[in-house]
Structure 1
Amino acid sequence: MLTTVDFFDLADFRHQAVFDQGPVWNALKGLKSYMDSLNYPAWNREIPLDQPLPATLVIIDGKIIPAKGLTLDLGDATKGKMTISKDGQILAGASVLMAGAILSGEKISLGRGVFVEAGALIKSPAVIDDYTEIRQGAYLRGYCLIGKRCVVGHVTEVKHSIFLNDAKAGHFAYLGDSILGNHVNLGAGTKLANLRFTGGEVPVKTPNGTMATGLRKFGAIMADNVQTGCNSVTNPGALLGKRSMLLPNTTSPSGYHPPNSIIKP
């Protein structure tokens, strides 16, 4: 119980290797070493770092080109509706960095069809997979591993966390040392607290007793298809099973909540 297969379907997740056969939170323990071992593209050495981009840029086939002279149809990237074309020819898989976005550090990788809006700040290392949107005011603080078709939304802060495919934190969220499963959706204002007031290791309470994690900072793990309502909060070390719901204006207790749980005020 509480292994990766109890929480996630990894069949289409490009970074399965970050998970092991032990407790699901081991992925957080290994996240730094995994991301440090990856190869990152060279294109971000060609752009100004640690300052707002002065002009919109397009990334295609590992190369940076100016957006000037291109036609940008900035539809919903997560649904494949963002198209970039030149002289009427679509540049398949092109990603867009809007003027005003800030990249800090060279270990940043963007997949195909990624859209980074003006005002987003991405700190190295970060991996952002295909057709994901990083929206205005988003703050990725480093060691962020983001899957396909995800959303890191307006004024959302993410630190040392993993998004599986189709996970969305669209508005005013905080995620520290956490994992979102496939098709997880966080309501506006959701906060995943990751540090105990009293300090020390964050344990996980289960029906069979308390399990040690070895983690001083540990937010939440949300299994596939979990949903949270607006202004909800999880206490450190909260594990929500598949298809669970955390209702609006509700604080989830620490510990394991089985699949299909409905956590009420």
Structure 2
Amino acid sequence: MDFLEPDAFFDMASFVHRDVFAGCKYVWDVLGKISGYLEHHIEPNVADLKYFRRPLPKTVVMWRGEILEGGFEIIGGNVTEGKFLVSIGGEETYEAAVLWEGSVLWDEAIFIGPGAVVEPGALVKGPSIIGAHTEVRQGAYVRGQCIVGTGCIVGHTTEMKTSIMLDGAKAGHFAYIGDSLVGREANLGAGTKLANLKIRDQTIRVMAHGTRIVTNLRKFGAVLGDHAEIGCNAVTNPGTILGRGCQVFPLTSVRAGYYEPNSVIRG
């Protein structure tokens, strides 16, 4: 079933962490590989911060392998476009990561990429990778076992766990991303919920082209192919597989199963 392989959903030519998908027969198989991949590939860079499990008492900047508590000016700009400007010792750069006062890092097993911004009230648990020029907004909760690509948005009060967001994926407001894969430039409208656990707590099965496939996963949210879009306050049921370019109308409860690329799904 080539149409369920990772390459059918994602263009990973420029995705730094594409190797996590190596050997996956079905696209969702990668969910069981995230932990092992992070264990061997994460390069934590926050150990010198010294403030864990409590809000940062002051804004800090990460630049050239150092964590700076002063000597900088935050000018600002568009984070995901790589245009968030910081002046350090008179030198202006878009490659400095900013951890705002009031943000929380839970432990040391975290990598924050160049130009990323973590806003006040956001909480990040390891092991997690936050990619370059990614914005983790106020109140966001990254619960661990997460790989977030370049130029992504983990939005206001958005929660994610055991998930991958490819480059440019955005979940700007009030979303839940549980045990899910969000493709390149895919967008989750405000209030989107990628539900990951069946009410009867069963192994999740996927219906694709008339064949029911056992995933061997108790928790499995959704797969959103590249450029998929979900309207506000929509919910995908556990085991929803959206091909590239699919569109989901607002307020829709999406039945589990496989949807061909460019499908339009209405409530």
TM-score of the superposed pair, with normalisation by structure 2: 0.96
| 1:199, distance to aligned residue in structure 2 (A) | 1.4
SS of the residue corresponding to residue 195 of structure 1 reads coil
Tell me, yes or no, if structure 1 residue 24 matches structure 2 residue 9: no
> What is the alpha-carbon distance in structure 2 between the residues aligned to residue 80 and residue 10 of structure 1?
20
Conserved? CA contact 1:220–1:234, under 8 Å: yes
Which ranges of 4 or more aligned residues in structure 1 deviate by more than 6 Å?
A: none
Conserved? CA contact 1:243–1:261, under 8 Å: yes
Conserved? CA contact 1:174–1:191, under 8 Å: yes
| 1:235, distance to aligned residue in structure 2 (A) | 0.1
Letter in 2 for 1:177: D
> What is the alpha-carbon distance in structure 1 between the residues aligned to residue 48 and residue 210 of structure 2?
51
Conserved? CA contact 2:46–2:111, under 8 Å: no
> What is the alpha-carbon distance in structure 1 between the residues aligned to residue 119 and residue 179 of structure 2?
24
> What is the alpha-carbon distance in structure 1 between the residues aligned to residue 94 and residue 242 of structure 2?
38
Conserved? CA contact 1:50–1:103, under 8 Å: yes
SS of the residue corresponding to residue 197 of structure 1 reads coil
> What is the alpha-carbon distance in structure 2 between the residues aligned to residue 43 and residue 122 of structure 1?
12
Unaligned runs of 5+ in 1: none
Give the alignment's Cα RMSD to 1 decimal. 1.1
| 1:45, distance to aligned residue in structure 2 (A) | 3.8
Letter in 1 for 2:159: E
> What is the alpha-carbon distance in structure 2 between the residues aligned to residue 86 and residue 145 of structure 1?
28
Q: How do 1:184-263 residues align onto structure 2 when only pairs under 5 Å count?
A: 184-263=186-265
> What is the alpha-carbon distance in structure 2 between the residues aligned to residue 129 and residue 92 of structure 1?
14
Question: Sequence identity of aligned pairs in percent?
Answer: 44
| 1:75, distance to aligned residue in structure 2 (A) | 1.4
Letter in 2 for 1:77: V
| 1:41, distance to aligned residue in structure 2 (A) | 3.0
The 10-residue stretch of structure 1 (20-29 or 9-18) with the greater mean CA deviation from structure 2 = 20-29
The 10-residue stretch of structure 1 (40-49 or 209-218) with the greater mean CA deviation from structure 2 = 40-49
**2:173 matched to which residue of 1?**
171
Q: Judging changes above 3 Å, is the alpha-carbon distance between structure 1 residues 198 and 17 closer, same or farther for their aligned structure 2 residues? A: same
Q: How do 1:110-121 residues align onto structure 2 when only pairs under 5 Å count?
A: 110-121=112-123
Conserved? CA contact 2:196–2:238, under 8 Å: yes
Q: Judging changes above 3 Å, is the alpha-carbon distance between structure 1 residues 87 and 107 closer, same or farther for their aligned structure 2 residues? A: closer
Conserved? CA contact 1:43–1:62, under 8 Å: no
SS of the residue corresponding to residue 211 of structure 1 reads strand
Aligned length: 264
> What is the alpha-carbon distance in structure 2 between the residues aligned to residue 43 and residue 249 of structure 1?
40
Conserved? CA contact 2:45–2:110, under 8 Å: no
Conserved? CA contact 1:20–1:26, under 8 Å: no
Letter in 1 for 2:262: N
Unaligned runs of 5+ in 2: none
